Amino acid sequence: MTPKQRRQRDKGTPSAAQLAKLDHQYVWHPFTQMRDWLRKKPVIIAEGNGAVLRDVDGREYLDANSSIWTNLHGHNHPVLNRAIRAQLSRIGHSSALGLANEPASILARDLIALANRPGPNPDGFASRHSPTRSPRSNSHSRLAKVFFSDNGSTAMEVALKLAYEYARRSGRSRRPRFLSLDGAYHGDTVGAVALGHIDLFHQSYSRLLFKTDKVMAPYCYRCPFNHARAERADARDYRKCHWECLDVLEKKVCRQRKKGNPYAAFVFEPLIQGAAGIIAQPSGWLQRATGLARTQGALLVADEVLTGLCRTGSEWFLASHQEQVQPDFVALAKGLAGGYMPLAATLTTQAVFDAFLGDYAEFKTFFHGHSFTGNPLGASAAIANLKLLQDRSGLRWRQRLESQLRDALRSLWQLPQIGDIRQVGLIAGIELVKNWRTREPFALSERAGIRVCDAMAGKGVLTRPIGNVVVLMPPYCTTQQQLNRMVESLRESVRTVLGGAKSI
Ligand code: PMP
């Protein structure tokens, strides 16, 4: 039965036109210029199956950004649906303030097991006996405790507050300061915004925020230290530099330590900075950068909201582990419950936990919590999600998909409007430029990325750009044919929208 037929059957359900009117009249959409939005007929999603979304008129689209980077195994997955239904038949929600619940306890155990596992092994993702390449400083930072919340921003708020208070209580700093990366995005709540460094989003609120320090992030394609001429390849592969970005970082952390107030924490998105424009770090940067920060006394906060749960590599539960980094805090959200329920988790160490223990009257309690902390429906979906992630055939499918994506993206180099293609696992950012030889960008006001994505939507492929970068982030269940259609629609859309110059 199509969504239209269903609506005809269920009399009283608003028509597609009425729904569009309701949206226009009442809903304010995130990160959206509402004046533009109100001029257009909205796509109203009614159903999904696998990598396919269906709108109220029955039109089908490929979900090429996994519903804003959340969906892992596709929509309407029988295993995830079953897990949520089974939990729903018992209880939808009860509070974690003063009560425990079964799925949250089981999930916390499973997360801790995976987040301390340093890497892949020949027997697959799930073995308990990984022949480990030991992550750096593993002994400092065995993750032991899970604090649940409901989204990426709150997961980062929790990490921030814990790291701040831990620095004070452990006597490491009386005025804890944080270091994060240029272009960092850690969410939209005020603490997370303070850690962020994207002027377009954050500047207006600067007087509302506490001060954090920012340090250069590796953005090889536009790095002032990269002396390589533009090539038709990922800029990380042909960069000519001497890791000056790490020298800058080293100076910064040393200077702060010399002031007698080492950074409470170095906060980073491992391997790839998402909202900055899918900026992928060159191999080795993360291990070196976190090593420098640690040596100078900073704890490590890994924002794995986007990168966790095998997004950056089929066998790697955490992106940090790909560079043998074991953080002191890990934030997970987005795909944690498979992209089905709002659920997030902040993982930390026993040492941090212990700093909040005391007699009640000492008031060392972590006075923080959310009404939906540890929600059983979300936790049940997450337990099922972690099982799916560890399934051998799923793992092999992801491996195949990663290399198919790599192959498909190669075909885009023939377009002169492609400046850089950055792929890490099943995340790809395609940077559109006016002139690939000079790397001249399109002015943001030209809306090149938006226009290309609009054209892709017209061809039945949905994704959102970040400025001039088109994001492809397919669900893990995507078929090769669907993947090819995603890339093909991007190629055709660049040609028709940005047109002009011939293929290279
Ligand atoms: N951290 C990162 C790395 C993110 O990409 C995002 C969201 N794009 C967030 C935090 C915030 O997550 P949420 O939107 O769930 O609050």
DSSP string for 394-407: HHHHHHHHHHHHHH
User: Rounded distance, CA 68 to CA 203, Å?
Assistant: 24
**pLDDT attached to residue 125:** 53
104 lines ligand 1 (CB under 6 A): no
Ligand 1 centroid–CA 300 distance in Å is 18
Shortest CA distance to 412 belongs to which of 238, 233, 236?
233
pLDDT (tens digit, 9 = 90+) per residue, 389-412? Answer: 999 999 999 999 999 999 999 999
Atom of ligand 1 nearest to the CA of 342: 15
The answer to whether 274 touches 335, Cβ cutoff 8 Å, is no
Pocket test for ligand 1, best of 153, 273, 427 (most atoms within 8 A of CB): 153
**pLDDT attached to residue 6:** 73
> Could you give the 3-state DSSP secondary structure of residue 331?
strand
268 lines ligand 1 (CB under 6 A): no
The answer to whether 216 touches 248, Cβ cutoff 8 Å, is yes
48, containing H or E segment:
strand 45-49
pLDDT (tens digit, 9 = 90+) per residue, 460-491? Answer: 999 999 999 999 999 999 999 999 999 999 99
Atom of ligand 1 nearest to the CA of 68: 8
Shortest CA distance to 426 belongs to which of 276, 323, 312, 263?
312
Ligand 1 centroid–CA 278 distance in Å is 13
Output the pTM of the full model: 0.95
**pLDDT attached to residue 59:** 97
How many alpha carbons fall within 13 Å on the CB side of residue 332? 31
First-to-last alpha carbon distance for the chain, in angstroms, is 46
**pLDDT attached to residue 499:** 86
> Could you give the 3-state DSSP secondary structure of residue 383?
helix
Mean pLDDT by 10 residues, the chain (504 residues): 71 90 98 95 97 97 98 98 98 97 98 81 42 43 95 98 97 94 98 94 90 97 97 98 98 96 97 98 98 97 98 96 97 98 98 98 97 98 98 97 98 97 98 97 96 98 97 98 98 92 66
Ligand 1 centroid–CA 68 distance in Å is 10
User: Rounded distance, CA 253 to CA 276, Å?
Assistant: 22
**pLDDT attached to residue 151:** 98
Q: What is the DSSP letter of 228?
A: P
The answer to whether 270 touches 285, Cβ cutoff 8 Å, is no
402 lines ligand 1 (CB under 6 A): no
> Could you give the 3-state DSSP secondary structure of residue 279?
strand
Pocket test for ligand 1, best of 160, 186, 370, 469 (most atoms within 8 A of CB): 186
184 lines ligand 1 (CB under 6 A): no
Q: What is the DSSP letter of 298?
A: -
The answer to whether 265 touches 177, Cβ cutoff 8 Å, is no
Buried b (16+ CB within 10 A) or exposed e, 439-461: bebbeeeebbbbbbbebbbebbb
From atom 10 of ligand 1, which residue's Cα is the shortest distance away? Answer: 186
Shortest CA distance to 491 belongs to which of 410, 406, 412?
412
From atom 5 of ligand 1, which residue's Cα is the shortest distance away? Answer: 306
User: Rounded distance, CA 119 to CA 134, Å?
Assistant: 8
Atom of ligand 1 nearest to the CA of 275: 5
- CB contact set of 438 (below 8 Å; sequence gap of 6+): 230
